[in-house]
Structure 1
Amino acid sequence: MIAEVTVDGLSKELSTYLDTARINQVRRAYYYAEQAHQGQTRRSGEPYVTHPLAVAHILAGLKLDHQSLMAAMLHDVIEDTGIPKDALEEQFGEAVAELVDGVSKLTQIEFRTRAEAQAENFQKMALAMSRDIRVILVKLADRLHNMRTLGHMPYAKRLRIATETLDIYAPIANRLGMHAIRTELEDLSFSAIHPMRSRFISKAVSKLRGSHQEIIAEIRSKLEEKLAERGLPGRIFGREKHLNSIYKKMKLKQKSFHEIMDVYAFRIITDSEDDCYRILGAVHSLYKPLPGRFKDYIAMPKANGYQSLHTTLFGMHVNIEIQIRTEEMEHIANNGIAAHWLYKNDQPDVSSVNQKRVDRWVKGLMEMRERADDSLEFITHVKEDLFPDEVYVFTPRGKIMELPRGATPVDFAYAIHTDIGNACVACRINRNLASLSQPLQSGQTVEIITAPGARPSAAWLGFVVTGKATSSIRHALKHQKRTESCELGRTLLNRSLKQLGYTYADLGEQQIAAVLKHNQMTSLDDLLSDIGLGNRMAYLVARQLVSGVGGEGDEHPVALKSDSADKDVITIQGTEGLLVRFASCCKPIPGDAVVGVMDSGNGMVIHSDTCPRLPNIDKHAERVTHLTWAKDITDEFAVELRVELERQRGAIAEIAKAVAFAEGNIARINVEEQNARMGVVSLEVHVQGRKHLARVMRRVKHVRAVTHISRVRY
């Protein structure tokens, strides 16, 4: 049960840091709200004014200024009672009216999930924060009280509010350094979304805490003794692990409950920075520190202003996590940006380090607000800070796309639409052409360039990270392989029919149906696909179609080495797709005499016609297809060169320069063997054909140190 808050109880709490005049202004705002909400009740049946009073009480715990507390009292007045902003301004001043108006506008924003939170809505929130950061503090306190009293809501609404809190408001609290509010929001959301898991973990924690009480007490006692021995001031607290944090570690790190809870956590609060480092030395002398587990957030504070020393020790057969910080750092760790409004003797007292971060962040928001024409950049800055585990990028039209960290432009393309991903050929990041495999950063604007007839590459599977991209690419490749195998099969079958003196037009449906039945195929496409994959020989299928099923007779004898074979050669365009690939043994390039060899299940492999790895054409004529190159091929092909040279300083650089001068591209360079005078260099160069290769070799041969150059064929 949450203790009932009264205005007198609140006034008493405020008297610890506010003067009487300001407390009376807060009380006046309460009575105004009470009258405005007269007759309104919450779902629990309580008078509605109990909610704004509870919100003000939360802010009082953060020691916020009187204007924030007044805004908390009045935050629902504009929206729920019809009282205009002007009336509030007349009664309580412009600053309070602006705060109330800002909170009212935030209340109207409905974030369903992070992915659906659109730029316009988030811009409203960021604008409200940039005008006065106290707006978001009041909103966070409002959300915290709503989460505490969520039980009276219908289940669907509870789920929506809890999800929204976990996705939007808890990260904002974290970015503002408000640890206490963030952890409570996370735990309350977790309990609402996963009530049974929450109860189970809560019971397990309570049970474990009881059984570990002796170890905790002994560790604390030894720490206290060590500090007393060194004369160091410090208060030692056990640090509780939060339910949502335990659940996230179990889920994401695949750790058991006992693995997570076997770490004992303590917090030591001391007087000064100097004492922090002295205490660090003391605890390291007591227990052995674990390597790589020390973090100095005092010298290098987190982005939200958090400062502390973190170390993990091994002692008592367990790991001991210790955080060491000053009283001021402790206050900032729990209250974050809210510490800005802590009043002592009417003067703000806050860490100068944290103050600078607060001012810089708010100033950044203000500067971005002034560039209102580029609202997307404005929002990105905020979102990047709030959700560091995700990447938020924009489409050219300004829609926010949420992707996992490490996502690439290909993931982005598939996130927009599968057809966009399949047709993707290039991308622009922030208007500059970029690699499709480049990991995206939050705030970038990504434009996908598509081309009709473009197809996904199997290489994409090596760098995409989203499930949608992976499954879509695999599906497209499977479909592409089927299409290509059908096309290649049709080409090969048509060529074999021509050699037999027939065309498709000469074949009857009955002939085709009989051959399909004989080969146990359900459709002609299946048969053509099998031919294209190399599982069936086109010549044999052509003979079946012409001679009758199973016909092995000599009505139409054919020798593939005859003149007819040369008249029906297949033209190679360059990069042919999934089912036509170039042999790695002889590395054929345009201009070389080439033949295609059917490889069962994998399509056609193109070899140089002098390659020693070719099957015997006389014995395996049905597997070999004569090919010719198309004109004007612009694709690049890999060629291996062997360069013998005298060992001279800078010789390798001269060779690379010569290749570049001949417009070649070096893919790999390797010094194979050397002696005192001579060396042999192996080069893999990308060229467009034999003429281009000759130009490259001529340039390399002119390098003074080179004694011999040759192409490695097999």
Structure 2
Amino acid sequence: MTTVDDLIGLVRAYNPKTNAQLLADAYAYGQAMHEGQYRHSGEPYFTHPVAVASILAEMQLDDATIVTALLHDTIEDTKSTYGEVAEKFGTEIAELVDGVTKLTNLQLNSTETKQAENFRKLFMAMSKDMRVILVKLADRLHNMRTIKSMRPAKQAQKARETMDIFAALAGRMGMQWMRDELEDLAFEVLNPEGRTSIIRRFIKLQRETGDVIHKITGDIQHELTKARIKAQVLGRAKKPYSIWRKMEEKKLTFSRLSDIYGFRVICETETECYAILGAIHQRWRAVPTRFKDYISQPKSNGYRSIHTTVSGRDGKRVEVQIRTRQMHEVAETGVAAHWSYRDGVRVQNPFAVDPVQWIATMTERLDSAEDHEDFLEAVKLEMYIDQVFCFTPKGDVVPLPRGATPLDFAYAIHTSIGDRCVGAKVDAIRVPLWTRLKNGQSVEIMTAQGQRPQVTWLDIAATGRAKTAIRRSLREEDRARYIKLGLELARVAFDHVGKRVSDRALITAAKRLDLPDSDALLARLGSAELNARQVVQTLYPELVIQPGGEIEPSRAIVGLSPGQSFERAACCQPVPGERIVGITYRGKGVMIHAIDCPALIDFEEETDRWVDLTWHSGPHAAVHQVSFDMTISNDAGVLGRLCTLIGEQKANISDLHFSDRKQDFYRLIIDVELRDVEHMHAVRLALEADSDVATIRRHRDLNQKP
């Protein structure tokens, strides 16, 4: 474990004016609070906060951040309190420690709605003080470096969360080195065979070609010497996960990958950057479409560099990044460069982004998301973007994520322009709205009065901002239709419990569900954002309770061990009366599958996980959700009539959404809560008998594998 003197020496190396006594006091306090606690590896727990502090010291951060790292688990895991930390170390550090504690308690890999709520809290914490996130990222990095001591199931969960959230966030903040390491550590857990395969191929390639990095570095240095330019040339092989991702994206084998090596040229001035670019392009042929100038068009996190790919030695593609030393510091530490110290003073790097401005830019488009799904989609798009820069006809620059379309461009300018978009010209040539934009293109948007967003635009748009605006417009346009459908769904649900829908009942239910009025309630019902059962239960909870004599859902399965939990598989949605089998999961209990579920093929070699199960005999409650894929006529009253048919069969509609809408038909997925297989057949038969139902089949989604 790093000693207190070693840690102080590490900080003093870049900040001679550090408050050594403050660091020593925090070290002693953290060590005392964690006394007697141990990690999964058997090491004293305090080795972890010290390692986190060392990572942040290597990033040359301020004293408050280093102290926060030493104390970041005290409030959560020891008898220490916020008040005690504030008294000993000041309010600033107490706030930072409390912020890290709150982030630790967020379950970022839970269900969609909860995940979106937690993302909101994460960005709220970032907006208060970005250093909270820096400590959390360093905390996750050390945990991933020592993950092998955890249980396999916990390793997989942490690795997936790291890949999906923390690595992406580090990249979005400009901390590319941390993103690369987090991704590679997670890759080693999630796909060890794939990572080992990449490493073996690398070793084989090195045996065949020799030290390519040394050779190409020498070639570049030779050209710079000829041009009388002083610069440092650095070469590296790309990380295994970076190579794997490129193979997956481009559908290439390892032998066909060309740019698996990256080189950086670091100089002193911007003028030298462009002179170096000229020298490299004079010596080697540039690869078309692989040039990006992030010096003239920086990324929002302050990243500046020139990227070019050339055909180098033996025709191999080589990626070269050219930047000044100050740009390189920001490229290495991203937004964290704002807190970097050198020689006892905060570094005044002109390229470091003000974190307050950065987080405002980051969250600007997210605040407009009206519901959890919109927010989650928007934030993930914002975190993963790789930008292209396009121009308006007047020459203004519009930054967009890679894969963006003219529709995204229109909404980036203004929502009203996006809503009225009827076409686009790219470099003066008329193109379809689904065209993917490229760096440097000029885009002109054509609009028309009376134009409204189309449902198909959701598949065309790539940005969260555009998708949110399109959904909002569609909701407004469809509001009247949704209110009418919602009223029909409410009537069926109320009839199911022997009650009548009234204005008074709907107004009361709306108030209890924190909705402004009955129309808002019905619109949410009609758009499947609200369940009719919830409305009935809000008003008549005693009528929704299962009647006596029915088998409780928790006792529906026979053959489980005492205390063993179970869950119906979402891929096949088995119902009582169907033959079933259980698959055991560590920490999850047993997953129940229908015996003919295609997902069971994945477990053919793991017979020890199979459990022979049956449904409990007797009447079951109508709580088993089954999805139907239906194609129906697009005529007035058809959907309402079909909802009535389902209600007449004493079944409840829990959700429905349209998967396709055409001029003459609708295709929709409708979720119905049923008692058993006979109940399912009765509902299906009633629907098939309707002349406006073209097709109906049971919907099974294999993407919903556990």
TM-score range, shorter chain: 0.5 to 0.7
Distance 1:143 1:128, change over 3 A: same
Please report how far the alpha carbon of residue 234 of structure 1 lies from its aligned counterpart in structure 2 after TM superposition.
Answer: 1.1
1:231 aligns with 2:228: yes
Cα distance change on mapping 1:375 and 1:132 into 2, 3 Å: farther
What is the percentage of aligned positions where both structures have the same residue? Answer: 38
Distance 1:89 1:366, change over 3 A: farther
Q: 1:173-215 CA deviation, whole Å, 9 max, x = no partner?
A: 0111001111100000111111121122122223323433354
- Larger deviation, residues 234-243 vs 45-54: 234-243
Aligned length: 431
Q: What TM-score do you get using the length of structure 1 for normalisation?
A: 0.55
* 1:507 corresponding residue in structure 2: none
Provide the C-alpha distance between the structure 2 equivalents of 1:95 and 1:209, rounded to a whole number of angstroms. 51
| Alpha-carbon distance in 1 for matches of 2:318, 2:27 | 47
Stretch moving more, 309-318 or 358-367: 358-367
Describe the shift of the 1:140–1:196 C-alpha distance in structure 2 as closer, same or farther (beyond 3 A).
Answer: same
* 1:306 matched to 2:460: no
Matched, 1:353 2:351: yes
| Residue 239 of structure 2 is aligned to residue 217 of structure 1 | no
Superposed displacement of residue 218, structure 1: 3.1
Q: Is the 8 A contact 1:369 1:375 kept in 2?
A: no
Distance in 1 (alpha carbons) for counterparts of 2:61 and 2:306: 27
Q: CA deviation at 1:326?
A: 1.3
How far off is 1:88 after superposition? 0.2
Once the two structures are superposed, residues 646-682 of structure 1 have per-residue CA deviations (whole angstroms, 9 ceiling, x without a partner) of xxxxxxxxxxxxxxxxxxxxxxxxxxxxxxxxxxxxx
Q: Which amino acid aligns with 2:96?
A: L
Matched residue type, 1:341: W
Kept after mapping to 2: 8 A contact 1:113/1:163: no
**Does residue 1:338 correspond to 2:336, yes or no?**
yes
Letter in 2 for 1:190: F
**1:365 offset after TM fit, Å?**
6.9
Residue 437 (structure 1) aligned to one of 456, 460, 470 = 456
Counterpart of 1:436, as a letter, is: V
Partner Cα distance (2:249, 2:665) in 1: 40
Tell me the TM-score normalised to structure 2 length.
Answer: 0.56
- On the 8 A contact 2:382/2:464 being kept in 1, the answer is no
Partner of 1:169: 166
Question: What's the offset of the Cα at 1:40?
Answer: 0.4
- 1:440-451 pair list within 5 angstroms: 440=461, 441-443=463-465, 444=468, 446=471, 449=478, 450=482
Contact persistence 1:127–1:369 (CA under 8 A): no
- In structure 2, the residue matched to 1:127 is 124
Note the alpha carbon deviations across 1:613-670, whole angstroms, 9 max, x for none.
xxxxxxxxxxxxxxxxxxxxxxxxxxxxxxxxxxxxxxxxxxxxxxxxxxxxxxxxxx
Aligned to 2:11: 14
Counterpart secondary structure, 2:457: coil
Letter in 2 for 1:143: R
Q: For the structure 1 residues 203 and 374, does the alpha-carbon distance in structure 2 shift closer, same or farther, using more than 3 Å as the test?
A: closer
Residues 589-635 of structure 1 deviation map (CA, whole Å, 9 limit, x = unaligned)? xxxxxxxxxxxxxx9xxxxxxxxxxxxxxxxxxxxxxxxxxxxxxxx
Which residue pairs with 2:265 in the alignment? Answer: 268
**Which residues of 2 match residues 330-479 of structure 1 at below 5 A?**
330-356=328-354, 358-364=355-361, 382-388=379-385, 434-439=453-458, 440=461, 441-443=463-465, 444=468, 446=471, 449=478, 450=482, 476-477=630-631
Structure 1 partner of 2:61: 64
The answer to whether the 8 Å contact 1:114/1:168 transfers is no
Q: Structure 2 counterpart of 1:99, which letter? A: L
Is the contact made by 2:258 and 2:316 (CA closer than 8 Å) also made in structure 1? no
- Matches of 1:86 and 1:368, distance apart in 2: 36
For residue 206 of structure 1, the aligned residue among 199, 203, 228 is: 203
Q: Secondary structure at the match of 1:237?
A: strand
Change over 3 Å in CA distance of 1:337–1:293 after alignment to 2? same
Alignment of 1:66-145 (within 5 A): 66-112=63-109, 115=112, 118-145=115-142
Cα distance in 1, alignment partners of residues 119 and 40 from structure 2: 29
1:184 — aligned with what? Answer: 181
Equivalent pair of 2:234/2:265 in contact (CA under 8 Å)? yes
Supply the distance in 1 between the matched residues of 2:318 and 2:114 (Cα, whole angstroms).
40
Amino acid in the other structure paired with 1:153: M
8 Å contact from structure 2 (residues 99, 132) kept in 1: yes
Distance 1:221 1:113, change over 3 A: farther
Residue in structure 1 matched with residue 289 of structure 2 by the alignment: 292
- Once the 2 structures are TM-superposed, how far is the Cα of residue 264 of structure 1 from its aligned partner? 3.9
SS of alignment partner, residue 355 of structure 1: coil
Q: Distance in 2 between matches of 1:389 and 1:352?
A: 23
Aligned partner letter, 1:442: G
The answer to whether the 8 A contact 1:264-1:318 is kept is: no
Q: CA deviation at 1:577?
A: 6.4
Is the CA contact 1:113–1:167 (under 8 Å) kept in the aligned structure 2? no
Unaligned runs of 5+ in 2: 388-402, 408-450, 489-570, 573-625, 639-662, 667-690, 692-706
Partners of 2:665 and 2:219 in 1: CA distance:
70
Render the CA deviation track for 1:475-519: whole Å, top value 9, x for unaligned: 5349999xx9xxxxxxxxxxxxxxxxxxxxxxxxxxxxxxxxxxx
Are residues 170 and 214 of structure 1, via their aligned partners in 2, closer, same or farther at CA, if it must alter by over 3 Å?
Answer: closer
The counterpart of 2:27, out of the listed 5, 25, 30, is 30
* 1:193 paired residue number: 190
Partner Cα separation in structure 1 for residue 228 and residue 294 of structure 2:
24
CA drift of 1:48 comes to 0.5
- Structure 2 counterpart SS, 1:181: helix
Pairwise CA RMSD of aligned residues?
3.8
Is the 8 Å Cα contact of residues 15 and 345 (structure 2) preserved in structure 1? no
Q: Distance in 2 between matches of 1:272 and 1:576?
A: 64
| Cα contact 1:339–1:350 (8 A) shared by 2 | no
Q: Tell me the SS of whatever aligns to 2:319.
A: strand
SS in 2 for 1:435: coil
